Amino acid sequence: DTEVTQTPKHLVMGMTNKKSLKCEQHMGHRAMYWYKQKAKKPPELMFVYSYEKLSINESVPSRFSPECPNSSLLNLHLHALQPEDSALYLCASSQYPRVGSSGEAFFGQGTRLTVV
Partner 1 sequence: QKEVEQDPGPLSVPEGAIVSLNCTYSNSAFQYFMWYRQYSRKGPELLMYTYSSGNKEDGRFTAQVDKSSKYISLFIRDSQPSDSATYLCAMSPRDDKIIFGKGTRLHILP
Residue 50 within binding range of partner 1, rule CB under 8 A: yes
Identify the burial level of 22 via C-beta atoms within 10 angstroms of its C-beta, where 0-12 means exposed, 13-18 middle and 19 or more buried.
middle
Q: Which window, 13-21, 47-55, 67-75, 77-85, contacts partner 1 (CB under 8 A)? A: 47-55
In whole angstroms, what is the distance from residue 12 CA to residue 113 CA?
6
Residue 28 within binding range of partner 1, rule CB under 8 A: no
Peptide bond before residue 97 is cis, with ω within 30 degrees of 0: no
Residues 6+ apart with CB under 8 A from 94: 29, 31, 33, 102, 103, 104, 105, 106
Looking at 51, 98, 114, 116, which residue binds partner 1 (CB under 8 A)? 98
Residues 6+ apart with CB under 8 A from 100: none
Looking at 68, 110, 113, 115, which residue binds partner 1 (CB under 8 A)? 110
Looking at 21, 48, 87, 113, which residue binds partner 1 (CB under 8 A)? 48
Judged by beta carbon, residue 48 or residue 78, the one nearer partner 1 is 48
Interface residue list for partner 1 (CB under 8 A): 4, 6, 31, 33, 40-43, 45, 48, 50, 55-56, 88, 90, 97-101, 103-110, 112
